[in-house]
Amino acid sequence: MIIIKFADTETENRALGFLARRFSCKSWANGDTLVPEAALAALANEGISFIVQGRAAYEQRIPAIRNTAPTAVQ
């Protein structure tokens, strides 16, 4: 899995629409997007420009598991 970033929000919205139909991806509010390596070639073929930030760390690829107990409901 690779973390990429887009130049502007218009490009990001176009890319996320493209990716959502074809690949599993995750996007954060800071503009980073986690995509599989195969998505890079597909984005390039569509003419969508992006900046590769690097490989994703383990913590970014696996969702956090909450270990706090839920509060009681009355």
pLDDT (tens place) for every residue of the chain, 74 residues total: 899 999 999 999 999 999 998 998 888 888 899 999 999 999 999 999 999 998 877 665 555 555 566 667 77
Which residue spans within 1-74 are E strands per DSSP? Answer: 2-5, 26-27, 32-35, 51-55
**10 Å Cβ neighbour count for 47?**
7
Question: What pLDDT shows up at residue 57?
Answer: 73
pTM, to two decimals: 0.72
Distance, in Å, from the CA atom of 45 to the CA atom of 18, rounded to the nearest integer, reads: 11
Please tell me what DSSP assigns to residue 56.
P
Can you tell me the distance from the alpha carbon of 42 to that of 59, in angstroms, rounded to the nearest whole number?
25
Do 54 and 4 contact (CB within 8 A), yes or no? no
